[in-house]
Structures are given as C-alpha cells and as structure tokens.
C-alpha cells in the first residue's frame, strides 16, 4: 500500500539535507519492507512530504525513527491518479 507521510518543523531544509535523509531511509528501508519513492520539501514552511510503498503505517514510522526523523503524520493513500 502507498503512504504519504508529512514532517513539520523542517524550516530551512536544504537540498543536501533532503538527499541525506532520503539516503539514510533508503539504506534501511528494505529491512522493514518499505520503499520510499519520492520526497518533496518546502523549506519556508518546514514541511516535507514522503511517498512510500509499505506494508503498514508502523513500518514507515520504524524506518523514519531509525534514521532520526519520525513523521508527524502518516496517511495511507490507497487512491491515486
């Protein structure tokens, strides 16, 4: 199932920091059965969105916790267009 998770409080995040966070997630995601497909960041509001394919909300959060950036919201998004 696909999930969209949201991180707040990331004001000023740089392209390099986004890449590093994504790379950290990518390094451990397989152990949780998760794949982070895309991520987008708004440095002004400090919001980061991550789209993943994962077995559960909890699995998404386990990856983000292991890499030091737990999500503030995790929504299953079974519908897409």
Name the residues that contact a copy of itself, by CB under 8 A: 2, 4, 13-15, 18-19, 22, 38-45, 47, 49, 51, 75-81
Nearer Cβ to a copy of itself, position 47 or 56? 47
What tokens does 81 get?
Answer: 């267009």
Phi, then psi, of 47 in degrees rounded to 5: -110, 135
Length of the chain: 81
Q: What is the DSSP letter of 55?
A: S
Nearer Cβ to a copy of itself, position 19 or 65? 19
Nearer Cβ to a copy of itself, position 2 or 66? 2
Maximum pairwise Cα distance, the chain: 33
CB of 32 to a copy of itself, least distance (A): 19
How many C-beta neighbours within 10 Å does residue 67 have?
Answer: 18
CB of 26 to a copy of itself, least distance (A): 10
């Amino acid at each position: 199932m696909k999930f969209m998770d949201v991180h707040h409080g990331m004001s000023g995040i740089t392209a390099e920091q986004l890449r590093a966070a994504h790379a950290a997630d990518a390094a451990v995601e397989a152990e949780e059965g998760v794949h982070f497909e895309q991520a987008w960041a708004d440095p002004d509001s400090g919001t980061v969105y991550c789209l993943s394919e994962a077995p559960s909300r909890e699995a998404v959060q386990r990856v983000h916790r292991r890499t030091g950036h737990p999500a503030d919201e995790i929504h299953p998004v079974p519908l897409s267009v």
